[in-house]
A and B are shown apart, each in its own frame.
Chain A
Amino acid sequence: MPTFKDLFRGKQKYVTVPPKEKVAPKRDIPDGLWSKCTQCNNLLFNKEIERNLLVCPKCNFHYRVPARRRIEQLTDEGTFVELDPDLSPVDPLSFPGYKEKLAAAQHSLGLKEAVLTGTAKLEGIPIVLAVMDFDFIGGSMGSVVGEKITRAVEEALQRRFPLIIVSTSGGARMQEGILSLMQMAKTAAALGRLAEERVLYISVLTNPCTAGVMASFASLGDIIIAEPGALVAFAGPRVIEQTIREKLPPGSHRAEFLLEHGFIDLIVERKELKKTLGRLLRLHGMGGQATNGL
């Protein structure tokens, strides 16, 4: 019995499939009828989970959402227009195995990089949207992720559309070395300009969101939202346990922990996310008055 995770996540964090091998391009569509929740072990209909936005209907575990699926969940049908669809990573350091890793991720996921950006409408309100995909080399930020995020910020600035970034990432991409680190400065600087022009930026943190992305654009939203239970941290629990051997209390590093300590504004369940974003946009004077029974 394949677990739910296998069916929806596609491959593990570091894709090992060689590029030539045939891989089903639609990694997120399960072919079986049933699967088993990795969290509560309940047997579930795949269609039921699908309809529930990839959230377990039994235990409410929020599974990772592939970027394209997330865009479908958040935008009005047919309104997403991708920005910079052809921007592709290179191997600036000739880093061992990087080219192969990129090719494998691109081939198995049908993505050029770990983020999709574009303009769209959300409940009729025009927005600029960036959505990261964790399955692409752990959602890591190299030059292209940094550049696409920065261009998305510039698009929002130029059009004066609100910016929404849905982040999920293991951090800066090791294989592009210091150039990845510099993307943190680049994206933060761009958001500094956006803030000066008083354009709204809502950051949505999804499981997991850590390290270099968390320590740059993901933490700089005017409003920061997280999905329930999402691992959100600078240094994840494993890093802490390995480097300083500190014992961690249960629930540390989760969205609820961050809410408690004052670093995010609210936790929103996936099924409420689009509606909540719509409310927040309207509260910033977009799309007219409240219409959905606040």
Chain B
Amino acid sequence: MACNGVLDFEKPLVELEKRIEELKRFTAEKAIDFTEELQSLEKKAERLRQEIYQDLDPWQRVLLARHPKRPLALDYIPLIFEDFIELHGDRGFRDDKALIGGLAFLEGRPVTIVAEQKGKDTKENLYRNFGMPCPEGYRKALRLMKQAEKFGRPVISFIDTPGAFPGLQAEERGQAEAIARNLLEMSKLQVPIVAVVIGEGGSGGALAIGVGDRILMLENAVYSVISAEACAAILWRDASYAKEAAAALKLTAQDLLELGVIDEIIPEPLGGAHRGLEVTAKLIKEALVRHLNELSELSPQRLVARRYEKYRRMGRWQ
């Protein structure tokens, strides 16, 4: 799908942008005036950008959410917070590199951060286990969240995972129990929890750090009970129907807002967060500060009661 960090549907735009860059370089080097040509090309690029990104279908959003250049938690953290200190380990087995956590200031307010972390290339992805946490990752997150509760600071969670790691080692250490425990404990944690889906929200592996007072989602992030490919394999016995499955699953930020599962969509620059890391970070920060300000008005009892009521209402039946 993606080659050299470019998705198929982005190709015409990326090629045009390359030509513009070349022309600019040529102008500088040879001192020939291409102003008019450049203007017309820039206009064309802008039109193309609108055309390509204005109306993305769900599958294209899945691809953007997994874009090889998409910013990851550790790209946003230094731009949103001050003085981040990473804390390690679940105190039981090992430090999971796919789920990081730590302390930082958000506009002067101490917060606990937990975040799923993918890698940027193969080497990093092997180190980060492709962002698929093991039980000890979820237990580390829980340890840090309980610590946040003890010291009365809010929890901010960044969700970005294809799913919880489905390996034998994870089974031996109780992947299901670790996820279930987090769901229960997060439902009654006595401090505000704000979760942001920044890329892929992969099922239980995402929810395990995704129970909170406010759930926010970047515009091109996706959040689903099953991957589009796996859904297609079950439904049409063919993973190449992922496009159809992505539409059927209602996994875009807009879908989830309409279903009442998330509270707000954080806009991304046209073309996706990777086309404007700083501006995306700024928008995430603004949203976090605004929601935390609202939530800090509530007593812990009221906070937990409202969180419970929110989840209590989830679902449709007759």
User: A92, B316: Cβ atoms under 8 Å?
Assistant: yes
User: B180, A216: Cβ atoms under 8 Å?
Assistant: yes
Q: A196 vs B312: C-alpha distance in the bound complex, in angstroms?
A: 17
User: A215, B204: Cβ atoms under 8 Å?
Assistant: yes
Q: A177 vs B175: C-alpha distance in the bound complex, in angstroms?
A: 21
> Given A172-B203, A215-B204, A244-B167 in contact, is the A178-B184 Cβ separation under 8 Å?
no
User: A184, B183: Cβ atoms under 8 Å?
Assistant: yes
| Interface membership of A81, Cβ < 8 A | no
User: A181, B203: Cβ atoms under 8 Å?
Assistant: yes
Q: A220 vs B234: C-alpha distance in the bound complex, in angstroms?
A: 29
Q: A237 vs B259: C-alpha distance in the bound complex, in angstroms?
A: 33
User: A220, B180: Cβ atoms under 8 Å?
Assistant: yes
User: A87, B317: Cβ atoms under 8 Å?
Assistant: yes
User: A93, B250: Cβ atoms under 8 Å?
Assistant: yes
| Interface membership of A255, Cβ < 8 A | no
User: A219, B308: Cβ atoms under 8 Å?
Assistant: no
| Interface membership of A273, Cβ < 8 A | no
B-side contacts of A246, CB under 8 Å: 167-168
The 0/1 profile, CB within 8 Å of B marked 1, for residues 198-228 of chain A is: 0000000000000110111111100000000
User: B259, A185: Cβ atoms under 8 Å?
Assistant: no
User: B179, A172: Cβ atoms under 8 Å?
Assistant: no
Minimal beta-carbon separation of A29 from chain B (angstroms): 30
Contact residues of B: prevailing secondary structure:
helix
A-side contacts of B259, CB under 8 Å: 92, 177-179
User: B223, A182: Cβ atoms under 8 Å?
Assistant: no
Q: A249 vs B317: C-alpha distance in the bound complex, in angstroms?
A: 42
User: B204, A252: Cβ atoms under 8 Å?
Assistant: no
> Given A178-B225, A189-B183 in contact, is the A212-B204 Cβ separation under 8 Å?
yes
Other-chain contact of A186, B168, B204, B315, B317 (Cβ < 8 Å): B315
Q: A179 vs B226: C-alpha distance in the bound complex, in angstroms?
A: 12
User: B177, A178: Cβ atoms under 8 Å?
Assistant: no
A-side contacts of B173, CB under 8 Å: 261
Of chain B, the residue at the smallest CB distance from A249 is B168
| Interface membership of B181, Cβ < 8 A | yes
Minimal beta-carbon separation of B181 from chain A (angstroms): 7
Within 8 A of A (CB), among B23-40: none
User: A234, B170: Cβ atoms under 8 Å?
Assistant: yes
Within 8 A of A (CB), among B196-236: 203-204, 207-208, 211, 223-226, 231, 234-235
Of chain B, the residue at the smallest CB distance from A209 is B176
The count of residues in chain A whose C-beta lies closer than 8 Å to any C-beta of chain B is: 62
Other-chain contact of A219, B176, B235, B248 (Cβ < 8 Å): B176
Q: A91 vs B3: C-alpha distance in the bound complex, in angstroms?
A: 38
Within 8 A of A (CB), among B151-175: 164, 166-168, 170-175
| Interface membership of A139, Cβ < 8 A | no
Q: A147 vs B314: C-alpha distance in the bound complex, in angstroms?
A: 9
User: B312, A178: Cβ atoms under 8 Å?
Assistant: no
| Interface membership of A174, Cβ < 8 A | yes
| Interface membership of B16, Cβ < 8 A | no
Other-chain contact of B317, A143, A248, A261 (Cβ < 8 Å): A143
User: A189, B261: Cβ atoms under 8 Å?
Assistant: no
A-side contacts of B315, CB under 8 Å: 142-144, 146-147, 176, 179, 182-183, 186
Q: Closest 10 CB pairs between A and B? A: A143-B315, A235-B166, A189-B187, A188-B183, A219-B180, A234-B175, A182-B314, A234-B176, A214-B176, A215-B179
Question: Would you give 7 A-B contacts (Cβ < 8 Å), ordered by A?
Answer: A88-B318, A185-B207, A188-B183, A189-B183, A192-B185, A214-B176, A249-B168
Given contacts A185-B314, A215-B180, A252-B168, 7 further A-B contacts (CB under 8 A): A90-B316, A174-B234, A177-B249, A183-B315, A188-B211, A214-B176, A219-B174
Binding site for A on B (CB under 8 A): 164, 166-168, 170-177, 179-181, 183-185, 187-188, 203-204, 207-208, 211, 223-226, 231, 234-235, 244, 248-251, 255-256, 259, 261, 307-308, 311-312, 314-318
